Structure 1
Amino acid sequence: MKTIFHIHKIQFLSIFLLLIMASCKKEELRYEDKAGIYIDKEKIVGVKDSTSYSFAEKAGTLMLDTIYIPVKISGNMSPVDRTVPLKVDESLTTALAGTHYQILETKIKANEITGRVPILLKRTADLKAKQVRLYLKIATSAEFPLEIVNTKTNSTFSGEPAGTYVPGYLIKLSDQLLKPDTWDATGSWFKLFFGTYSATKYRYIIDMTGRIVWGPRARDGAEAPTLEQMYIYYAKLVSALYEYEKINGPMIDETGNQVTFPKL
């Protein structure tokens, strides 16, 4: 009788465990079926969590410009369009809606999983004296009820994602000459051709080349220079600096260091 009871007990426990596992799987499927959406930072060139945008690097007549925020859904595609719930975190934002920026309504098209949200940036007089911050985040909505807190990088280390992205995205907006975010990024032509950044050097580069729009890393996007142009700029800068130093001595930047360019 003891042996029979023991077998029945094992059978009961086995059935109980199977029921729990089935319940977990059912819950898991329901979780995966929920639609979510997140900022697709793998599509962002250079710094993934923020960008500094300065109208000072653009033509003086440019009063409006647009930054596109890539987004991607999790879960299944939909047979209908769905509105992207990209919002502003007011607690982390100093930019004024309608004055400094406008978020243009965007939809993920039917049977698609990606989209781009246009953020219209506006040039205002106060941006010459200060930098404002615009912190974007994805909110949940009836169409995207699943909150996605963090996303993983596509690159891996020992079989695991190499890093994690935080959910929000920061735009730092001004009309002042600032260091490009991608100056020190991997593969940056800024770093390769111009070396260590300083504001004095950057102003000298702009004055000598006449170029104010460089694109990310000075090599990405339609506005970026070609490799041939970069070599021409480099030769011009080195030659002009040599002539400057013959008359004035070393050019000293705002940190007290001499302005130099790397040897290629």
Structure 2
Amino acid sequence: MKKQIIWLGLIMAWMLCACEEDNKLMYDESSRVLNLWFGSESTEGRVDSTEYNYAYRPLGTDLDSVTFYVKLAGVPLEEDCTFDLEVTGGDVSSVIVDKHYVLPSYVLKAGTTGGYYPIYLKNTSDFKDKAFTLALALKENVKLETGVKEYATLKLIVKDREEKPAYWDEDPETYMPLKNFFGTYSRTKYQFMIKVTGKVISRVIYQGTPIPPHEISYFEAQYLQAKLRLAVEEYNNNPENPDRPLSDENGPITF
């Protein structure tokens, strides 16, 4: 009986210490960490890497961007906090900061726990028919520390290769081929789609929830198809477009 009481006391003491430690992690203002990832805020939409293909850069764009999401673990800040990313690996001699991309200083607003932020990519032909990778992470400061391992690093792949989406012509049962909405593929058509929709579309899911950023739902595909039809009509009716009707190697572009 005496041994049982001793063991019970030890267990209670351990639990008390654990609770105190948990409280410290949850409420100690010095314990703030910043997790980051590509994709959406939702758990199923989080990815640690993304691709940017210059071959499908929106036409006439000098400065484009990819966005990442940050999530604060800890008590929300009482005042705005500036944070920065730093390069931690990859092809740093080929993908050069300020020449090919820009990492601005970011601000996490007081009272917030997360948000979307951009990495800016400059227009360049230096990556033609090539692919390079950058690893980025939070540059720690007095207020923010690096997040947990799986949300500590961003992997950005930049390339300039014309690549037809893998699911343009065929896709499994729960998806629908892109051709069902957008017709025959061409690079000119795909670039026009990106410019009009602001999206790089890779798949259309018929049943289930699309995984951002490149999947869209069946209903969104229908909406974008109508939007693209209207955009082509407006382009072809605009006398300022000397190459009208908008065409590719297959003839006038239609959706």
Unmatched 5+ stretches in structure 2: 203-214, 232-248
The letter for the 2-side match of 1:86 is L
Change (3 A) 1:13 1:102: same
Aligned counterparts of 2:167 and 2:40: Cα–Cα separation in 1 = 15
Give the number of the structure whose residues are more often strand, by fraction: 2
* Stretch of structure 1 that moved more, 97-106 or 136-145: 136-145
1:43 to 2:31 alignment? no
The letter for the 1-side match of 2:178 is F
Aligned counterparts of 1:72 and 1:188: Cα–Cα separation in 2 = 33
Change (3 A) 1:14 1:60: closer
Aligned counterparts of 1:52 and 1:172: Cα–Cα separation in 2 = 5
Aligned counterparts of 2:48 and 2:167: Cα–Cα separation in 1 = 12
1:83 to 2:121 alignment? no
Change (3 A) 1:230 1:17: same
Shift, 1:73, TM fit: 0.7
SS at match of 1:127: coil
Out of 181, 193, 207, the residue aligned to residue 181 of structure 2 is 193
Query: Is the radius of gyration larger for structure 1 or structure 2?
Result: 1
Aligned counterparts of 2:4 and 2:148: Cα–Cα separation in 1 = 40
Aligned counterparts of 2:49 and 2:141: Cα–Cα separation in 1 = 24
Q: 1:201-254: per-residue Cα shift (whole Å, max 9, x none)?
A: 4437449xx54535143786xxx9723246799xxxxxx96x9xxxxxxxxxxx
Change (3 A) 1:28 1:55: same
1:116 to 2:116 alignment? yes
- What is the Cα-based RMSD across aligned positions, in Å? 4.3
Matches within 5 A, 1:1-264: 7-33=1-27, 34-41=31-38, 43=40, 48-91=47-90, 93=92, 94-145=94-145, 147-150=147-150, 167-179=152-164, 190=178, 192-193=180-181, 201-203=185-187, 205-206=189-190, 211=193, 213=195, 214=197, 215-217=199-201, 226-229=224-227
TM-score, reference length from structure 1: 0.61
Say how many residue pairs are matched: 211
TM-score, reference length from structure 2: 0.63
Aligned counterparts of 2:12 and 2:127: Cα–Cα separation in 1 = 63
